Amino acid sequence: MKNIKIFLAAGAIAATAGCAKAGLVAHFPMEVRSGQIQELISGNRFAVQGHFSPENVPGAVGQALRFDGYTSWIDASLTNILPEGNKKMTLSFYTALPSYPIVKIDENTSEKTAIVTCLDENAKTGFGVFIGFDGKWSFKAYVGGWPVEVNVSTPMPTYQWNNIVAVVDCDSRSITLYNNGEAVGSARCSGSLSFGGGSFKMGRGNLENYSGPFLLTSYNGLIDDIKIWDEAISQETIRAWKAENPADLDIPASRFADDILRPRFHGMPAAAWTNECHGMVWSDGRYHLFFQKNADGPYMARLHWGHISSENLYDWREEKIAIAPGDPYDIKGCWSGCVFTDDVITNGKPNIIYTAVDYGRATIAGASPDDASLLDWTKWSNNPIINGRPGGLSDDFRDPYFFRNGENAYIIVGSSKDGIGTTTLHRYNPANSTWSNDGALFFTGKSASADGRFWEMPNITPMADGKWLFTATPLSTSTGVRTIYWTGTINADGTFAPAPNFPSGKNVELNSRDGFGLLSPTIYNHDGKTIALGIVPDKLSGQDNWNLGWAHCYSLPREWSLDNDGILVQKPFSGLTGMRSSTKFTRDAFDLAGTLSLDPVSGRAVEIEAVFTIGNYPFGFNIFKNSSAEATITYNYASSSLTVDFSRLNRLINDGGVYNGVYTLTLPEYLRRGSDIKINLFIDHSILDIFINDRWASSIRVFPTDSDANGIEAFSNNGSTAVKSLRAWTLDPTASSGIDGIIADSVADDNGPVNVYSLTGQLLLQGADRETALDTLPAGLYIVGNRKVAKTN
C-alpha cells in the first residue's frame, strides 16, 4: 500500500486513514514528491531541506531518503497522536549509514545527534533516537515527566539496514530497543508517556555544533519508513519485518550531474572530503587506491580509510570504507599509512599499516583483507604494532611506510628531530613477529628551510639499477608545503644514503609551494611501470566546499623513472590513451601564426598533445575560452618556462595572495631555439595535468564558473612557430573508442619480439613471438606491439 498511498490526493489519503492498521498513528514513507515527503495518516506534507535536491534511492520499503551528512534534514510535525494518559507506543524506522556523525571536531564527547526526534527538553515531552560519533546509540523519552534513556553498548552496524524499533509499555514498566528484530537494550519506566505533539525532526535535532559553515550534528545515510503506533508491538511481529532491498549507500548520480567543476576522470570519492591517497595495489582485476576520508561532509574530521577502484586508473568507482575509527587506540582517527604486500609477513596478500590516533598519542596499527576484493578488512589482533614515537622526537609521528631490502623488512614513519624533518626506522624481527622502536632514524633533512620541520607521507621505492627513490612532503619549508625527493641507496643497516648530487631534496612538481600542486604521492611498482599519483588540493574556502559538496582530488597517474643522474622523469601513464574518443583534431607539419581553433574538440574533458619547434615567438594554447575571456598556457623561449594564466577567467578564487591566477613552470633545463618541445595537456573540469617532453610535470587546480567557457585554441603570438604535430581529443572515461595507439611499444618490429598489453595498459606478456603471442590468452582485444589485435577464439 505504501507506493500507492504516496500518490493519492490529500482528501483521498484522509479517506483511507480509517482503513490503516489499528494503532498506527503516524507514517512517513519518505518518498519525495515536489521536494516534500508526506505523513500518510494526516495527509500533511513537509519540505526536505538541504543544499542539494532531495534524493530517493531504493529503500527498505519502497523509497528511502538520502541525507547528505551536513545540509539535509526535515522539520516535520506531529499532532497529538499520543493523548495524555497513553502508556504504550512503538516507534519503528529503517536506517543505513556509511559512518557515524562527527558531532565535535577532535573531541571525545558524549553528545549525540538525532536520527529522528520530537524530544522537547524544555517541555519535558517527546522521544527520539540519537547516535554518537562512536556509533553508540540510544532512545530517550519522557515518561511521567521524567527522562528515561536506553543506551545500546555496541555501535550501530554500517552498510546495512538497521530496523530500529523502540517499544514503550508502561503497563509492563519497560522500554525495549530492537535492531532487526533482536533486543539490544532495555530500561524500566513507570507512569504514562509525556507527549504534546509539535516538531518532529529527521536527520538532525536541536543540538548544533559547527566547524566553519559545516554542521557537525547532521546525519549521513538513509532513513526510511518511519511509523508510530499507540500500542506496544510484539517482538514476534517485529522479527517478521524485513527490508525489501539491500541498503544502497552510493551517492546518487543526480547530485553532481550538472556540476561543471567536478573532475570526471581523476580519482576522488563520490562526495565529501578526501586528503592524501596512500597505498595502491592490483587485486581481483582492479587497481585499488586508499585515501583519507570524511564521509560526512567536505571538511577534515575524524579520518577513515576510503577506497576507490578502477580497471584503468581513470574510470573510478568508490567502494565501502575500508577502515573506520572505533577501537580504543584509533578512536580519534585512522590516519595515513600504506598498503604493502610481502611474501613473509603477509603471505603475499595486500595488508594495511596506518597511523592509529586516540586522544593522547599516535601509534602504528595494521589490518588484513577478508578476501581478494579488498572490500572488507579486519584489524590485527596485536595492534598497535609500534606503540608510539620513540624518545627524542616531536609529538608528530605518523604515516608509516613498509619496504624490504633483501632479507630485511622495515617500516619508516614521518617525524621531526631538533626542528627538522626526519623518518624513524623500525626493523622487523621474524623470530617473534615484532618491530623495533629504539629511536633509529632512516633519513633526516639538512635544514628546516630547505627540507622542512616535519615530514609527512615518507615513501621509499626501489627503482632501476639498484637506486632507491625517497619522497616526503615536508611542512614549513621556506616555500611552505611541497613534495620533494632524493635518490640514493639503502645501507646495510637499513638507513638511506642520498646520492652526492642531492645535498637537499628536489621538487617533484615544476611549480609547487604553500600546499599547491601534487602532494604526498602514492607510488606503486606494477607490470614493469612505476606509477605515481597524489592529492592536488583545491585550496578553496570552506564555504566554496560547502557549496560544491566535495573537496580535493588526485592527479592523473604518472609513470616515473630515473635518468642516469638519478633525476626524476615523469610522463603520462600509457593507459590514459584509452579515454580518447572519436571526437578529435589532427594536423601535422605546419606553421602556426595567430590562433587556430581545435574544433570539433572543445569543453572541459580534453587531451592536447603537441610538438612545437622552439623559435622566436611565444606559443601555446587558449583554454576555457568564451566571448569575454580565456585561460592561456604560453611557452616563452627566453625564460624556458611555461606560464599558465587564469587571471582573466571568472572563477572561484583559490590562490589569492599566492599565485593570483598566474603559475610559472620554469623548466630545469634550458631548451634552445630549434629544439622541439612536446606539451601534453589534460583538462578535467577543475584540474590541469601538464607534461613537458615526457620528463617534467605539474598539476594545477582552477575553477572557471562560466558555463560556456569551453573553447580551445592553439596560438603563436607576434609571428609564426613551426608545429610538427598537433592532436586533441575529447575524453570519455567510460568509453574505449580511442584504443588505437594505446601503447607505443619500443619492441614493435614486424619480425621481432613484442609486448602484449590489455586495453587498459596492463602488461600481459613481454618479449613474446608475434605469431604466437596470443595463443595462451582468452578471446578479446589486445595491443600487440603497437597494433590493436582481436582474438576471436
Grid cell for residue 91: 516507534
pLDDT in tens, 310-364: 999 999 999 999 999 999 999 999 999 999 999 999 999 999 999 999 999 999 9
Whether the per-residue pLDDT at 5 is higher than 50: the answer is no
Whether the CB-CB separation of 656 and 541 falls below 8 Å is answered with: no
- Per-residue DSSP letters for 478-515? TTBS--EEEEEEE-TTS-EEE-TT-SS-EESSSS--TT
Q: Which residues pair with 379 in a beta bridge?
A: 367
Minimum mean pLDDT among 490-499, 723-732, 752-761: which range? 752-761
Count of CA atoms in the C-beta half-sphere (13 A) of 629: 13
Whether the CB-CB separation of 519 and 508 falls below 8 Å is answered with: no
Whether the CB-CB separation of 410 and 428 falls below 8 Å is answered with: yes
Q: Indicate the pairing of strand 272-283 with strand 550-551.
A: parallel
Whether the CB-CB separation of 476 and 543 falls below 8 Å is answered with: no
The residue among 789 and 179 whose pLDDT is bigger is: 179
SS3 730: strand
Confidence at residue 749, expressed as pLDDT on a 0 to 100 scale: 43
Confidence at residue 7, expressed as pLDDT on a 0 to 100 scale: 32
Q: In the chain, pLDDT over 70 holds for what percent of residues? A: 93
What is the distance between the alpha carbons of residues 101 and 155, in angstroms, rounded to a whole number? 12
What is the distance between the alpha carbons of residues 58 and 65, in angstroms, rounded to a whole number? 9
Whether the per-residue pLDDT at 14 is higher than 60: the answer is no
Could you list the beta-strand ranges (E) of 669-761.
676-684, 687-692, 696-701, 711-731, 754-757
Which is it for the CA torsion 580, 581, 585, 589, positive or negative? positive
The whole-number average pLDDT for the span 463-470 is 96
pLDDT band at 777 (very low <50, low <70, confident <90, very high): confident
Helix or strand holding residue 99 (H, E): none
The whole-number average pLDDT for the span 81-100 is 95
Residue 252 one-letter amino acid:
P
The whole-number average pLDDT for the span 763-790 is 73
pLDDT band at 214 (very low <50, low <70, confident <90, very high): very high
- DSSP code of residue 160: S
Confidence at residue 525, expressed as pLDDT on a 0 to 100 scale: 97
Confidence at residue 192, expressed as pLDDT on a 0 to 100 scale: 94
Nearest to 569 by CA among 702, 431, 676, 668: 668
Confidence at residue 708, expressed as pLDDT on a 0 to 100 scale: 97
Q: Is 571 left (phi over 0), alpha (psi -120 to 50) or beta?
A: beta
Whether the per-residue pLDDT at 101 is higher than 90: the answer is yes
The whole-number average pLDDT for the span 60-74 is 98
What is the 3-class SS of 181-247, one letter each residue? CEEEEEEECCCCECCCCEEEEECCCCCCCEECCEECCCCEEEEEEEEEECCCCCHHHHHCCCCCCCC
Q: Which residues pair with 182 in a beta bridge?
A: 179
What is the distance between the alpha carbons of residues 292 and 280, in angstroms, rounded to a whole number? 13
pLDDT band at 131 (very low <50, low <70, confident <90, very high): very high
179-216: string of b/e by CB count within 10 Å (b at 16+)? bbeeebbebebeebbbbbbeebbbbbbebebebebbbb
Whether the CB-CB separation of 97 and 158 falls below 8 Å is answered with: yes
Confidence at residue 622, expressed as pLDDT on a 0 to 100 scale: 98
Grid cell for residue 763: 602488461
Neighbours of 443 (CB within 10 A): 21
- DSSP code of residue 704: B
What is the distance between the alpha carbons of residues 219 and 215, in angstroms, rounded to a whole number? 10
Confidence at residue 793, expressed as pLDDT on a 0 to 100 scale: 56
Confidence at residue 764, expressed as pLDDT on a 0 to 100 scale: 77
Whether the per-residue pLDDT at 741 is higher than 60: the answer is no
How close are the terminal C-alpha atoms of the chain, in Å? 52
Grid cell for residue 411: 617500516
Nearest to 2 by CA among 315, 298, 357, 241: 241
The residue among 744 and 301 whose pLDDT is bigger is: 301
Nearest to 277 by CA among 295, 265, 291: 291
pLDDT band at 790 (very low <50, low <70, confident <90, very high): low
Residue 444 one-letter amino acid:
T
What is the distance between the alpha carbons of residues 553 and 702, in angstroms, rounded to a whole number? 12
Grid cell for residue 124: 519535558
pLDDT in tens, 633-691: 999 999 999 999 999 999 999 999 999 999 999 999 999 999 999 999 999 999 999 99
696-728: string of b/e by CB count within 10 Å (b at 16+)? bbbbbbbbbebeebbbbbbbbeeeebbbeebbb
How far, CA to CA in Å, does 62 sit from each of 13, 32, 115, 241? 18, 11, 20, 14
What is the distance between the alpha carbons of residues 484 and 472, in angstroms, rounded to a whole number? 6
Note the pTM of the prediction, 2 decimals: 0.90
SS3 171: helix
Confidence at residue 783, expressed as pLDDT on a 0 to 100 scale: 72
State the greatest distance between any 2 C-alpha atoms of the chain, in Å, as a whole number.
95
Q: In the chain, pLDDT over 90 holds for what percent of residues? A: 88
The whole-number average pLDDT for the span 22-46 is 95
Confidence at residue 58, expressed as pLDDT on a 0 to 100 scale: 97
What is the distance between the alpha carbons of residues 742 and 783, in angstroms, rounded to a whole number? 7
Average pLDDT across the chain, whole number: 93
pLDDT in tens, 378-410: 999 999 999 999 998 988 999 999 999 999 999
Helix or strand holding residue 16 (H, E): helix 10-16
Grid cell for residue 2: 505504501
Burial of 314 (0-12, 13-18, 19+ CB in 10 A): buried
pLDDT in tens, 241-290: 999 999 999 999 999 999 999 999 999 999 999 999 999 999 999 999 99
pLDDT in tens, 421-454: 999 999 999 999 999 999 999 999 999 999 999 9
- Per-residue DSSP letters for 72-92? -EEEEEE-S-S-TT--EEEEE
pLDDT in tens, 602-638: 999 999 999 999 999 999 999 999 999 999 999 999 9
What is the distance between the alpha carbons of residues 368 and 384, in angstroms, rounded to a whole number? 14
- DSSP code of residue 22: T
Grid cell for residue 699: 598539476
Cβ-Cβ contacts under 8 Å for 572 (sequence gap 6 or more): 556, 557, 558, 559, 680, 682, 689, 691, 694
Confidence at residue 2, expressed as pLDDT on a 0 to 100 scale: 40
- Per-residue DSSP letters for 537-579? -----HHHHHHHTEE-EEPPPEEEEE-TTS-EEEEE-GGGGGG
Phi, psi of 255 (to 5 degrees): -60, -40
Which is it for the CA torsion 489, 491, 495, 498, positive or negative? negative
